[in-house]
Amino acid sequence: MEGEVEDKRITLEEAVKLVPDGAHLFWGGFGFQRPPMAFAHELVRQGKRNLTIYTCGSEIDIDILAGARVVSKFELAFFAIEGIGLAPNIQRRIRDGSVQIEDYTNLAMALRFLGGALGVPFMPIKSMLGTDLVTRSKFKPNKVKVIECPFTGEKVALVPSVNPDFSIVHVSRVDREGNAQIDGIKGEDSEGARAGKKTIVLAEEIVDTEFIRSNPDLTVIPNIYVTYVVECPWGSYPMMVYNYYDYDMEHIRMYYQQCKTEEGWQKYCEEYITGVENHMEFLKKIGLERLLKLKARKPLGY
């Protein structure tokens, strides 16, 4: 007899309520792929403050969090609205001093998450050597150390592992126990989801546990690592989820143009984030017709 299935499902609002001001978050998704957009919106709606975010490369999702003054510190490798320009809100918040960024490389951040997941205090890396990424830091007194390898004598950089308070990842599908599948690239989410003290998995769809257990080789994040599960369809809109939907470039371009000014950003935030009650109301505002046009085509996945 199979034991009773544990049910880790909570709502998006409940999940965000768990995050206290000042918390440290691993932020999942990579580039335009699977960012936790709906979670970002809800963090703004609930007025969270002073968060620190760890990620490799992110875009509108973290630009919104900077704009709304939810995040004060980032440790990351890259931020921009790819293919369009610089992230407008983050630029402004850096200038007014309310956001600080500590720079690493993508591999360095991914290894910091792997180190956290493995339970070791640092990871060795052969990037960053000889550059200002080692010599300059914004707020971390111990950002990178270069040592001579005790075995070979060669120079190697060490980066500190990260165990954030929460890991936030948006995936393709998950069962209510928290077994998650990710279609397409994983970015740094496999490691990031395992590094958090608590991990919240948001998913395009909740599937039956039997669906997962009949294909265990497809599980990217097993339930042991997962604390809470949130059903969150279209949760990365206006960005993309492979096999589910494409990005909405029209919306992304509008965001970029409008957020070049503080007034434009305030208007966007009011119209699409704080002015709607929840994620469902946001989707209603975008409209069914527009969303259906973005639905992924088979077999392309976009």
Partner 1 sequence: MQNLKEHAKPGEYSTLELMAVCGARAIKNGEVVFVGTGLPMVAAMLAKRLHAPKAKIVYEAGFIDSNAIDIALSIADSRLEYRSSAAIGLIETLGILLQGGRVDVGFVGAAQIDEYGNINTTYIGDFESPKVRLPGSGGGNDIVSSAKRIVIVMKHEKRKTVKKLDYMTSPGHLGGPDGRKNAGLKGGGPALVVTNLCQMDFDEKTKRIRLKTVHPGISVETVLENTGFNLIVPEHVPETEPPTYEELEILRSVDPTGIYIPRST
Contacts to partner 1 from residues 14-33, by CB under 8 A: 29-33
Q: Nearest-5° angle of CA 111, CA 114, CA 120?
A: 100
Neighbours of 16 (CB within 10 A): 22
Q: What are phi and psi of 119, to 5 degrees?
A: 75, 30
Select 12 or 159, whichever has its Cβ closest to partner 1: 159
Kindly report each contact of residues 270-274 with a partner whose C-beta sits within 8 Å and lies 24 or more positions away, as own/partner.
Answer: 272/41, 273/41, 273/44, 273/45, 273/64, 273/68, 274/44, 274/45
Which ranges of 201-273 would DSSP assign to H, the alpha helix?
A: 209-213, 249-258, 262-269
Stretch that binds partner 1, among 4-12, 18-26, 89-97, 163-171 (CB under 8 A): 89-97
257 lines the binding site for partner 1 (CB under 8 A): no
Q: Does 254 bind partner 1 (CB under 8 A)?
A: no
Binders in 145-184 for partner 1, by CB under 8 A:
146, 154-156, 184
Give yes or no for residue 264 binding partner 1 (CB under 8 A): no
From the list 5, 86, 120, 280, which residue makes contact with partner 1 (rule: CB under 8 A)? 86
Query: Per this entry, what is the length of the chain?
Result: 302
Using DSSP's 3-state secondary structure scheme, residue 53 falls into strand
Number of Cα atoms under 13 Å in the Cβ half of residue 68 = 25
Residue 96 found at the interface with partner 1 (CB under 8 A) = no
Query: Which of residues 6 and 148 has its CB atom nearest to partner 1 in the complex?
Result: 148
Considering the rule CB under 8 A, would residue 296 count as an interface residue with partner 1? yes
Q: Which of residues 118-137 bind partner 1 (CB under 8 A)?
A: 125-133, 136
- Radius of gyration over every alpha carbon of the chain, rounded to an integer in angstroms: 19
Write the binding mask 44 to 63 for partner 1: x where contact by CB under 8 A, - elsewhere.
Answer: ------------xx-x----
CA dist 190 and 113 (Å) reads 9
Q: How far is the CB of 14 from partner 1 (least distance, A)?
A: 29
CB of 177 to partner 1, least distance (A): 23
CA atoms of 223 and 66, how far apart (whole Å): 31
Query: Does residue 140 belong to the site contacting partner 1 (CB under 8 A)?
Result: no
What residues contact 256, with CB distance under 8 A and at least 6 apart?
81, 84, 85, 88
- Shortest reach from residue 7's CB to partner 1, in Å: 29
If one asks whether residue 77 binds partner 1 (CB under 8 A), the answer comes out as yes
Residue 209 touches partner 1, criterion: CB under 8 A: no
- Output phi, psi for 103, to 5 deg: -95, 130
Sites of contact with partner 1 (CB under 8 A): 29-33, 56-57, 59, 76-80, 82-83, 86-87, 90-91, 94, 101, 103-108, 110-111, 114, 125-133, 136, 146, 154-156, 184-191, 240, 242-243, 246-247, 249, 296, 300-302
